[in-house]
Homo-oligomer: A and B are copies of this chain.
Amino acid sequence: MNLYDGGVTSPQGFRAAGICAGLKKNRKDMAMLMSTAPCTAAGTFTSNLVKASPVVWDQNIVKQTGCARAVVINSGVANACTGRQGDEYCLETARAAAKALGIRPEEVLLASTGVIGRQLPMDTITEGVRTMSGLLSDTREAASDAAQAIMTTDTKRKEIAVTFELSGKKVTIGGMTKGAGMIHPNMGTMLCFLTTDAAISASMAQKALLSCVQDSFNMISVDGDESTNDTCILLANALAGNEEITQEDESFRTFCRALELVTKNLARRMAADGEGAHALFEVRVTGASTKEQAVTLAKSVIGSNLVKTAIAGHDANWGRIICAMGYSGAAFDPGKVDLTFESSAGSVRIAENGVSTGYSEEEATKILSQDEITAVIDIHEGCQEAVAWGCDLTYEYISINADYRS
């Protein structure tokens, strides 16, 4: 079971397209996904009380039918805080796609990302839908075009695929995602689209997705702002021909392991490509009594602006890490905490039993100057652990967000 350079068209029967529709200047801004066969559809969405219109649209489909055939995605405009007009534009978009693809509007999922509070330019959207329906293709290139089109302030496309066996059949999962800013998913994620040719029931697909999102997208934070548009969709079209997964058996667990490889890979890359980020910052809390305690502590550390600016400055200012653990709300004994920094340049023990080891600042700075840094925090209570991913907070984050709309 290995990851490889694939994308949403890697599983059988999935086609994609990505184009410059004209929402943004000279950049791809619309994508379409389509399966030649009907799919079960699972989804997790933002828990923000303020939900974008396409989020509400998708939630209804996932809840009511659990079936879909296509996804239409635009960047540039989030279609959030747009009132009833925004809801009507969702219906219009789905109708345009259904007509062009010869399916029903209720089989079309939607996703938007971009500026909140602006209405979609519907002429551009419907023309984009028509154009894309003529370009759909199952090539590697088409998947990459789609992955490119969903980007906002991302600097890199994020795609991956994995192949494995289920009841003697070769099964593939492909995925693409976008992240960068307003990234602090909670029971949802940023825009992420996962495709698979596995045969799996809607309820098992939903269960697999929820479990994988929990340990991947829900463990990253770029800026603590949970979006109105977070959407993660899994489409499964059964073309691999495996025995359908309908219960939590060995096949289900294999499928979950494969799906988790994909979601963790994409989540790490989303954190590493956070707005303005120069470094991926991984926090591993070990020796916890409960998983929940480990999760709370790890997320508090990756969420701290002061920790993130210290990482940006390659500064082993470890007190900020202990401080962020202290205000997390989780109980622990500060006097028992061991802290180690690790990267490709080596590893250095910074604190033992809650106080400084008298480590070499020079050595620590060398380790913290790499582009992937891990803080291992052992709280010496039990055997549970959790891993969270964030990034450093740099000048570029300010620059990107102070002028986002101009």
Contacts and interface: CB of A to CB of B under 8 A. Distances in A.
Contacts of A404: 309-310, 313, 315, 317
Given A317-B405, A405-B315, A81 B322 contact: yes
A224 interface: yes
B116 A225 contact: no
Given A49-B334, A305-B225, A318 B117 contact: yes
A22 interface: no
* Copies of this chain in its oligomeric complex: 2
A122 interface: no
Nearest to A356: B117
Contacts of A406: 313, 315
A398 interface: yes
A116 B318 CA distance: 8
Contact of A306 (B49, B117, B225, B322): B225
Interface in A351-406: 351, 353-356, 393-395, 397-399, 401-406
Contacts of A218: none
A332 to B, nearest CB: 7
Given A50-B334, A116-B319, A322-B116, A354 B81 contact: yes
Nearest to A404: B317
Contacts of A332: 49
A324 B182 CA distance: 10
Interface residues of A, number: 66
A18 B382 CA distance: 47
B327 A49 contact: yes
B398 A81 contact: no
A73 interface: no
Contacts of A51: 326
Contacts of A309: 397-398, 401-402, 404
A402 B320 CA distance: 12
A80 interface: yes
A306 B118 contact: no
A383 B324 CA distance: 35
B398 A227 contact: no
A4 B351 CA distance: 47
A343 interface: no
Secondary structure class of chain A's binding surface, majority of residues: loop
Contacts of A117: 317-319, 322, 351, 355-356
Contacts of A184: 327
A85 B399 CA distance: 43
B327 A225 contact: yes
Contacts of A115: 317, 319
A36 to B, nearest CB: 37
Contacts of A80: 319, 323
A107 interface: no
Contact of A48 (B49, B118, B327, B397): B327
Interface of A: 47-51, 78, 80-83, 85, 115-118, 181-182, 184, 186, 223-228, 303-306, 309-310, 312-313, 315, 317-320, 322-328, 331-332, 334-335, 351, 353-356, 393-395, 397-399, 401-406
Given A51-B326, A226-B327, 8 more contacts: A50-B325, A50-B327, A81-B355, A115-B317, A116-B317, A184-B327, A225-B304, A309-B402
User: Which 7 pairs from chain A and chain B are nearest by CB?
Assistant: A116-B319, A313-B402, A50-B326, A309-B401, A117-B319, A226-B327, A48-B326
27 contacts: A47-B327, A48-B323, A49-B327, A50-B325, A80-B323, A115-B319, A116-B320, A116-B322, A117-B322, A118-B356, A182-B306, A184-B327, A223-B305, A223-B306, A224-B305, A225-B304, A225-B327, A226-B323, A228-B323, A305-B305, A309-B402, A312-B398, A315-B404, A317-B405, A395-B395, A395-B398, A398-B398
